[in-house]
Structure 1
């Protein structure tokens, strides 16, 4: 099968799965009408995740979940804003508009980045292949897929969205300095991610760089600038929530959870893979920090 046909089939399957997931979420919301909105969102989010999980098992490709990370938050925030404004977007406050636009910009960029690199149903993220091969004896793959690849990220992202709830539903506090800081942090985060991805694509497309380690642009100062941008994005959303409702400071659980995920799961996995594929990467790790930039050490 040609790559183009495989990609077309893959995207058709993803689209169908996500439409069914959306219908499942809507059905849960209709059945549980009267449940507190935040809790109702959580139940609907879980229902949609289970549909995507089922689809990933049917086609034997856990990567069907990958766009959920960026698609679900955008849908949730749009629903929250429409609920709070009574379905009238023109009634949205400045804070609601800012949050919505920044989340949409982040979601479109991240989803497009996934779509440009996914080659179709024959292409599964290397991390999922590794988890399948290295799972403990006796542990079924469906359990690893459901718990580790799909439910865990859904829960992490929902935790990250906790500060967005007050940011778009509490409208009593006027726009202030903290909102300006939130816009700056969140917009900078999206810019960092976009720049890092563009620099990486340019580097990998050059045949002369085959087998080499990227050490230019943002990647010269951080081994994972894309992860740094992602972490900053969720901290920016927390600042919006804090600006709207200072008493909801405890929603800091969201960005803290993101930091823990990237620091103890994503970064170590990427570093181990790079060390296995490129012997010089260990020396690169000594010179370049994982996330936060610092003055570069000499070679």
Structure 2
């Protein structure tokens, strides 16, 4: 009976998530349809912001995690939309670079979204970071404002910045496939693999009761405290390499992966390290021995 009740709650939660994403998608499409002839980048940005605003619904269900899959769902929709705008529905019109970008983005998006879905436990489950922000926010700042700007809008802006080099990668077709494209494929595929392996190792470690209170320091986690974040960062650098291969004049879109790096190094990594320190005093020694992101052989105890 308890399992059935949990299953119903989980199904209801996913129904709310799916409905919200459908509404966000319709709202984004309405923006694009309302302003024909405008530059696709501007239209995409406006549609992205409107779709993000839909996630004000997360305050209704009191769960900011409703927005979490947007990080991996929106980029795939945007990139596929850009490619269809260039090629129509004719797969034979795809260039090698376009095909590589689409396949890698879809692989990244499907894996990351599935990873979120496998760990989400329903509308009663909210990411601990959001709970912490809510509890520690200044009394004069309403939660809905912090939720909309800090938890939803900021990541949307960072992800859109990361997508900027993808625009020339899938629309500028004048330059043939070259070594820069090969480097982009290697970096992006390796980043997806690193993130996938790191997440799998973390899940396996966390599920073992014998590991309660211990720190994962084997596999990829032996050489980096946050290899999953490293993989995510690497993915966006791979996207930039694709843009650089297609149109070197768009080199300035390096601001995108730099923004991703700053988000992880100034927000995500410090938050995770502080939480680990508060729960496991031995983590301080782990921090001394193992680097935060870029892997190296751990220092001796």
Quick one: distance in 1 between partners of 2:251 and 2:167?
A: 12
The residue number in structure 2 matching 1:43 is 46
The residue number in structure 2 matching 1:255 is 257
1:14 aligns with 2:21: no
The residue number in structure 2 matching 1:67 is 69
1:92 counterpart (91, 94, 105): 94
1:195 counterpart (171, 194, 197): 197
The residue number in structure 1 matching 2:142 is 140
Is the CA contact (8 Å cut-off) linking 2:191 and 2:235 kept in structure 1?
A: yes
Residues 145-156 of structure 1 correspond to what in structure 2 (within 5 A)? 145-156=147-158
1:33 aligns with 2:33: no
Quick one: distance in 2 between partners of 1:295 and 1:156?
A: 31
Give the Å deviation of 1:32: 1.2
Is the CA contact (8 Å cut-off) linking 2:87 and 2:94 kept in structure 1?
A: yes
Aligned residues: 298
What's the secondary structure of 1:166's corresponding residue?
helix
Quick one: distance in 2 between partners of 1:88 and 1:62?
A: 39
Quick one: distance in 2 between partners of 1:193 and 1:180?
A: 20
Q: Which piece of structure 1 moves more, 185-194 or 288-297? A: 288-297
Instruction: Give TM-score, length-normalised by structure 2.
Output: 0.98
Quick one: distance in 2 between partners of 1:115 and 1:86?
A: 31
Give the Å deviation of 1:55: 1.7
Quick one: distance in 1 between partners of 2:6 and 2:224?
A: 33
Is the CA contact (8 Å cut-off) linking 1:235 and 1:255 kept in structure 2?
A: yes
Quick one: distance in 1 between partners of 2:24 and 2:174?
A: 34
Quick one: distance in 1 between partners of 2:48 and 2:12?
A: 25
The residue number in structure 2 matching 1:207 is 209
Show CA shifts across 1:1-20 (max 9, x none).
Answer: 83222211110000000001
What's the secondary structure of 1:14's corresponding residue?
helix
Give the Å deviation of 1:298: 1.1
The residue number in structure 2 matching 1:106 is 108
What's the secondary structure of 1:104's corresponding residue?
helix
Residues 259-278 of structure 1 correspond to what in structure 2 (within 5 A)? 259-278=261-280
Quick one: distance in 2 between partners of 1:178 and 1:54?
A: 41
Quick one: distance in 2 between partners of 1:10 and 1:132?
A: 21
1:130 aligns with 2:132: yes
Quick one: distance in 1 between partners of 2:89 and 2:296?
A: 47
Quick one: distance in 2 between partners of 1:116 and 1:295?
A: 31
Quick one: distance in 2 between partners of 1:28 and 1:222?
A: 42
The residue number in structure 2 matching 1:280 is 282
Instruction: Give TM-score, length-normalised by structure 1.
Output: 0.98
1:23 counterpart (3, 26, 34): 26
Q: CA RMSD in A?
A: 0.8
What's the secondary structure of 1:174's corresponding residue?
coil
Is the CA contact (8 Å cut-off) linking 2:56 and 2:144 kept in structure 1?
A: no
Give the Å deviation of 1:262: 0.5
Show CA shifts across 1:67-114 (max 9, x none).
Answer: 000000000000000001133222010000000000000000000000
Give the Å deviation of 1:60: 1.0
The residue number in structure 1 matching 2:240 is 238
Listed as ranges, the gaps of 5+ residues in structure 1 are none
